[in-house]
Amino acid sequence: MITRQQPRMLFGPVLAFILVPAAAAFACAWIVKGGPGKLLPLITSDWTQWLVAACLAIVAIVLLGYSLPRFVRWRAVRYILTSGRIVARFGMLRRGDWQVPLAAVRSVGIEQSLLQRILRSGNISLDTGHPGSAVLADVPEVGKFRSFILDAMAELPTSAVFGPGAVPGPGDDGDFAGPIDYSDSALPWEMREGGRDER
């Protein structure tokens, strides 16, 4: 099962992506029609191309410097639940991840701010008995995702034992177990079936 962070962080970038080009198009039309010269007689028609270029530059700066980086940052985070572990992956060009075996998890907690409660998202903390805890930030449908984690933990064989710090290496983190039978197609994650059963 794969999910991403709740997309509320994209509200500002999407709004800017829509409004800034629309405002720039209106401003360019106003400039071409001689609007600035009516306000300030010092601005002649020679300024037109420079003012239009300034509008286009502002659009490029907002889209490439604000909207695009935040969209890429959101796309770069993935949370993966398999039959044997939880994996959090970060980054696109520079990749990083951490993994927690389900057999090492003692408890699964949820923390929500007021906004997260309204949007039904939240932070999932995994207690492994070691100092600190692994946190999945801004998980959508956080209550249901926690129930999936608990179901996967309940299905672990009783012989599944990990020693302290026995986290699977990065070379074997790409296989996915068979899907859990949840039929709600509107949930914000996807189910994938892999070739090897991790149990």
**What is the per-residue pLDDT across 13-51, written as a single tens digit (0 to 9) for each?**
999 999 999 999 999 998 888 877 777 777 777 788 888
pTM flag (> 0.85): no
Q: How far apart are CA 132 and CA 139, in angstroms?
A: 19
**What is the per-residue pLDDT across 64-107, written as a single tens digit (0 to 9) for each?**
999 999 999 999 999 999 989 999 998 877 888 889 999 989 89
Q: Who contacts 77 (Cβ-Cβ below 8 Å, separation ≥6)? A: 4, 5, 88, 89, 90
